[in-house]
Amino acid sequence: MICNPILPGFNPDPSFCRVGEDYYIATSTFEWYPGVQIHHSRDLVNWKLVARPLNRESLLDIRGNPDSGGIWAPCLSHADGKFWLVYTDVKRLDGAFKDSHNYIATCETIDGTWSDPWYVNSTGFDPSLFHDEDGRKYFLNMRWNHRGPGTGGNPAHASFDGIELQEWSPEQGLIGEVRNIWPGTERGLTEAPHLFKRNGYYYLTTAEGGTGYNHAVSLARSRDIWGPYEDHPDKHVISTAGAPDHPIQRTGHGQYVETHDGQHYHTYLMGRPIPGPDGQGHFCPLGRETGIARCVWRDDWLYLEEGGLLPPVEVLGLADVAPNAPRKHTYLFEGGQLYPDFQWLRTPHPDRLFRLEDDALVLIGRESIGSWFEQSLVARRQEHHAYDAETELQFDPLTYQQAAGLVTYYNRHKFHAAVVSHEPGIGRAAVILSCPGDWPDGGLSPDRAPVPLSDGPVSFRVRVVGASQQFFVRVGDDDWHPLGGPLDASVISDEGGRGEHASFTGAFVGMVAFDTSGAGREARFARFSYDPHP
């Protein structure tokens, strides 16, 4: 059985692609580098990260991009003996305007070196590429209308002006007229278009309702690629809107695939909300994850196999295999290669931020936590609602402007960190830095809780259980001691602080160093571990 989510912890906007008996899912990475995550499976039950293709400056440079900007909604396809990756680089998302640039890159193998990209357009986001049976290719994206509601298209869509389509080729770029082929349903906010063809119909699957609790997968069809498109009898194929007790929420934005043996599946993004502090409210620390549902065809329309719109937690996979059990991950930084579980922020020049040498990860102190340019923060996704993470480092700061340690991080306004720094009158000390999501001011919590440290390696541990987290510290082989009091872990989530409507990523835990004096003080991390609770 497949147990949803299949890609836990910040894996949104899943583009689903089959090549023979191999299945691939590409997901958004936003400001995290390298760009786009691609997972592979042959049974749809267990998935392995096999590529992050946007890994050099010519493909992606997102220095200066805002939080939740960067890579939105990639589309992965296979045609002409190669993989095609379509992606958006969002340079601005706040306010009336969206500066979103759309590109295409190719590679003969999923884990190879991808081509330099073709620039396509900037009219909107969530682009995709459809390869028709006659060899022609078509580019789709939603069109953004900065003028707002009432200025054209469907008024329910606000600034979402429907789905536009235009022919494209590698040699000529965009060809001929661009047409708006579907305004969407009354749910509005129509985005994430994907085309596929079956039994003489062109099917257009989209996401609607916004990426919160009103989200949905919508479907329309036409005999002609240019339309007109008729709505699905139920408008939507997947949605958990209006079902607050369902364990899966926020469902939408996915893609259909027919398997090699004729079965039918649809991916979707999803969230798993848990109770907030003191049991009040709800929040999604793992961000938007990837789920999958089995489908059936009736009267040339796609439906969930179980009926209705609510996707089940468990569905039948392609093979009689069990999901991989959660396990502890220990990283020792040997061999000169960063573990694929880790990413950093924004820059295509990681040598400015870190290096691996002498069995250690060396972070070079750069700009402050939350910089949009050079921030030395190397972290992995939180994939479980309860876990312990631990690291050991050597660091000798000379000023309070230098710090290094363990961080739980969502964005520049939402993080907690336990660091080694230098406090006036104390010297080397363990300090808590905490920003509770108070955008747009973005101040640090005044409760720094400095604890004097003797010489030697320092270890930090964080224990996260639901909406609470606690830091611990030790020097050398001494006992562990609590550092400060419990902190609000719900801050490190989509809903924390500024809230879900402009927060698109998920919680990370990792290692950080900064040196706002400009001296580039270095910290050496000997190990890191991530241990999910049962």
Percent of all residues in the chain with a pLDDT value above 90, rounded to a whole number: 88
Domain with residue 203: its CATH number is: 2.115.10.20
Residue 321 lies in a domain: no
Q: pLDDT band at 280, cuts 50/70/90?
A: confident
Domain ranges, residue 360: 329-532
Residue 320 lies in a domain: no
What is the rounded average pLDDT of the residues 426-443?
81
DSSP state of 311: P
Q: Closest Cα to residue 290, out of 316, 321, 259, 268? A: 268
Choose the final residue of a domain: 315, 347, 373. 315
Q: Does 223 have pLDDT greater than 70?
A: yes
Choose the final residue of a domain: 261, 283, 315. 315
* DSSP codes, 369-418: TT-SS--EEEEEE--SSEEEEEEEEE---SSTTEEEEEEEEEETTEEEEE
Q: Give yes or no: residues 353 and 257 share one domain.
A: no
Residue 21 lies in a domain: yes
Q: pLDDT band at 151, cuts 50/70/90?
A: low
What is the rounded average pLDDT of the residues 203-211?
96
Contact yes or no for 87/71 (Cβ under 8 A) = yes
Using alpha carbons only, give the angle 387, 392, 394 rounded to the nearest 5 degrees: 155
Q: Give yes or no: residues 440 and 344 share one domain.
A: yes
Q: Closest Cα to residue 157, out of 167, 169, 170, 143? A: 143
Please give the mean pLDDT across all residues of the chain. 94
Q: Give yes or no: residues 111 and 138 share one domain.
A: yes
Predicted pLDDT at 522: 98
Predicted pLDDT at 95: 82
Residue 291 lies in a domain: yes
Q: Give yes or no: residues 26 and 52 share one domain.
A: yes
Q: Give yes or no: residues 196 and 269 share one domain.
A: yes
**Positions marked catalytic:** 374
Q: Give yes or no: residues 366 and 272 share one domain.
A: no
Predicted pLDDT at 148: 72
Domain with residue 344: its CATH number is: 2.60.120.200
Q: How many domains does the chain have?
A: 2
Using alpha carbons only, give the angle 308, 313, 316 rounded to the nearest 5 degrees: 90
Predicted pLDDT at 147: 85
What is the rounded average pLDDT of the residues 63-80?
97
Q: pLDDT for 462-508, tens place per residue?
A: 999 999 999 999 999 899 999 999 999 999 999 887 644 467 999 99
Residue 480 lies in a domain: yes
Q: Does 314 have pLDDT greater than 80?
A: yes
Residue 488 lies in a domain: yes
User: Residue 511: what residue type?
Assistant: M
Q: Give yes or no: residues 246 and 171 share one domain.
A: yes
Q: Give yes or no: residues 428 and 300 share one domain.
A: no
Q: pLDDT band at 442, cuts 50/70/90?
A: low
Choose the final residue of a domain: 315, 342, 357. 315
What is the rounded average pLDDT of the residues 405-411?
97
**CA gap 254, 240 in Å, rounded:** 14
**CA gap 90, 244 in Å, rounded:** 31
Q: CA distances (Å), 46 to each of 8, 253, 290, in order?
A: 11, 21, 12
Question: Which pair of tokens denotes residue 377?
Answer: 């923060």
Predicted pLDDT at 335: 84
Q: Give yes or no: residues 310 and 360 share one domain.
A: no
